[in-house]
Structure 1
Amino acid sequence: MYKVLIVDDDILIWKHMISVLNWESLGFELVGEANNGAEALLFLNEMKIDLVITDISMPIMDGVELIKLGKSKYPQIEFLVLSNYNEFISVKSAMKYGALDYLMKYEMDKECLEAALAAAKTTIEEQKMNRSQNRLVTLDTKWREQLVQQFWKSIVVQPQNKEALQLEALNLEIELSNGLYVLLMVGIEADNREDVKWNGNVQHICDMVKRVAELCKYSYTFALSETSLLIVLKYREKSSLFIKNTTYEIARNLKREVSDFMNQPLTMAISEAIYKLDDFPVQFEKLVNGIRGKFYWNIGKIMDVSFFNGFNQSFNRQLMYDLEKRFADYLQKSEAPDAMEVIETIFQEINKQKYEPELVYDYFTEMIISIRAIFEKKGLSFSENDGISFLSGKDLRNFPDLESLQVGFSRFVQTLQKVIRNSSTPGNRKDIKSVIKLVKENYKNNMTLDYVADYVGMSKNYFCTVFKDQTGCGFVEYLNKIRIENAEHLIVNTEKSMNEIAEEVGMTYGNFCKVFKEMKGVKPNQLRKYIVNSEG
């Protein structure tokens, strides 16, 4: 049953239509009435309606406006218009906005209504059939797309059953013979994977590929992952020079267009020519390594995998760790030119050998551990404020290729050397500054050498060496100096006894007198007498 809504402010009209027809026998169910277009729209929002029979002239919202708004929101609903003799212009507008037909109000008899409803029913059924067929076509297209994508994924990863794949290719109308294939892989770089939106752009890129790959017999594009696409190109021409030049031209044009609309740097790798099924997985693996090979020839390049034999997995540990040791020695001695020269040699050797990128990252991570040991041995403290957060090793993989890693690591080493040089300048070490502050605030307490060395995390002997380098005197001498300066202030400005003063500055009376005489050239009592006599 198709549902009908009658819209008319003339109650006699719609009562006549209700009574004169057997709606169910005609295949319709009358589900409601409305007095104007506004009421009808509310009804359409609440219930699924197939046919609306509406008057033209009504208060609040007329029939023409109802059809205009109703068709824009519910295009599947059909409208029949009721009109008077003087409403031709309005009827014309109603037909323009999608009304199916019109009936003259005062010529409406049973036969006329039945004919109009029969025609409306036929139209509704035809439209319903068309919508169903369109949905089936859409579903069929999506299903075939999934099958084609799965077919190519099976081909490039590892074709297990050649006969089954050849049969599948036949069913999907993919011609594997009479020509050769080339694979083109596209990798995208983004700081955050959330920034990569392949899914919404694959169709757009497919259209681009078809446009720039007009010289190919066949092309197919699909997303391999969040950050890579695979493009399958088929050529009839078997000239290797033609295929190479054409594929490079396609890659360049595609790279330019995709980079423009995605605003992300791209890296591309082109396979060698593929003549048989067994070659697909071999070339695909080369492409994967080729895209990763951007570590050596930088992001944004188009790479021919025929010139890349993969990464070197045999890391020459002896040579590389000898270089690391030389670098560490120069760094300890703050010999900047020599240290930078070793860094240059290390990167040249890595580029020459084309080591697996993860081996390279691991190597520099271990080097950073050695650098931390050097810092600790020198008693240096560091923080991200020093510009050397690199020491945590967490920033290494933020450098996507060898060139940027070399630039970053070289700047890092220069910063290290600057920190080491500054640390050798008297008074510049933060840990010794903290000890001086500690002494000035706590000289009254019992401050032992063991306590202070532990406070800055050094051995006692190493602390004594560093403290003397920074202050020009030993720790005990410096502590006594601070105590005696404060004692002198108390002698001059108070009437406290020498016993009281010695106790207040954290010294025994005997040691106080001895040290005071050594530093000031007079005994503390003599200084007090001199001051009293001077004032008298």
Structure 2
Amino acid sequence: MRNVLLVDDEPLIVKGMQSIIDWNANHLQIADTACNGVEALAKLDGLAVDLVITDIMMPQMTGLELIREVKVRSPLTKFIILSGYEEFNYVREGITLGVENYLLKPVNIDELEATIKHMQHDWETEEVRQIQMDLSWRILRTNILQRWANATIDAKEFRERAQLLEIPLTKSSYCAAALRIVAEHGHGMEDPQFYRPIIAEQCETIGRQHVPDGCEIICFPDQEGDIIVLFASTGREGEEWQYQALCGMKQWIASDTGACVWSVKGQPEQSSLGFPQSCKQVKLWLQNHLLGDSETFIVASDNGSKPAQTDEKWEPAMDQFHKLLRDGKSLEVDRFIDDFFDVQAEHGHMARTPCFNSAIQLMLAAKNLEKTPDYGGVFGPLSRIDTLSGLKRLVKRVVHQTLDTYHATEKDYSPHVMAVLDFVKNYYQEELSLKTLSQKLDLHPNYLGQLFQQEAGTSFSDYVNQYRIERATHLLLYSDKKTAEVATEVGYWDTSYFYRQFKKYAGVSPTELRSMYMKK
């Protein structure tokens, strides 16, 4: 609802204007009235007005003089002029001042409503423009903040942009924190990337409730989807207000999204130049750890970003696990997985690499029972896992998928299909085609392809690629051979084509696979 001020030295005119139309229906309300320009200016000191409807000829101050004064104070206010007679000079000067219309008394209702509708359109257009400007400003600020946090922006460019975007550079202490939102608890929360800027904006609003005088707080999403929090302070206030701010943000996010939220806080740095280092501490901690099942605060440091090395072995008892798989004891398999990871979790926040190594070992042990293992469900999801519980669920899902098929009735293949399977197993390094094999088997290529699809449940080309990727996976995990050597050894002479096929069937690139599984 927008505010209207009526100004006229004739009380009957003022009263009549209040009832001439349904102001509420036009999304307007009469906020106040005045009998002359001086009184109107006095009331405008404490009143936000969107529209002034004023007479021209009034004692002490004319309507045109009033308009000039108001425009200085409130450039966006709109005006409608009223007059008891038509005077060209007044009309001309009103146009110069940018009034919306010049209405003769008695006021024509249709003309007044038409003028108001025109103004409504202008207001709506201005609101959209302001929203777009605000959105553009926020997008620009987020981009600059991300580059600052990653130390990928030139110092001179950053100083210029920081001044424009109101980023503080003269405080005595700068500290970064990250809020990681993890939706792995079965509530089905959708988390599109565009939602993160909205969360960051609300977090900043909540955080400002705890900011002492002389301090500032800024929140923005980074490229991994974490909410980065910048604390800039004079260094005399302590850190309690920062923890209170983070607590308020965590509570709001959890309530709004239904997800779990973890907070990692870096060490304070003595100038804005140190903020990227504080960010790096936080991101390294998240990169090197799996989060537990309870929300908490963590304080990261240069020494604490990497998990402490322990002498304990992370290797699961694979002989026992293989036997459970062969026996098909699903409940005991689940218990084995839970017990192994729960024992490791007793040491606190778990190091990501040994956890992933053990998980990959367990999943590959199951996949090796399959005739044509598909690794897409093994490695692809690993990059999206942040919690120990999420890792356990992935391992169980992969293992159960294998058990469901492995212990089903063994399928008998026809001699022709069995010959094709054996040929792929023995000669997968070479160039293979149905045309070549069909000649060896004295069959038409189309018939052999249909027979293979029917019995194996996949096309010949897919089977060959899956088998080659299976062999490549073992070489990547358990040898030091270069990726190009691995590609050649499994039958891919074009390394770029090997990369594409590997990503298609395994869900990750060869490089990403090796980074997930760090050999001891």
TM-score range for the pair, normalised by the shorter chain length? 0.3 to 0.5
The TM-score with structure 1 as length reference comes to 0.46
Structure with more relative contact order (C-alpha pairs < 8 Å, separation 6 or more):
2
The structure that has the greater radius of gyration is 1
Query: Greater helix share, 1 or 2?
Result: 1
TM-score normalized with structure 2 length: 0.47
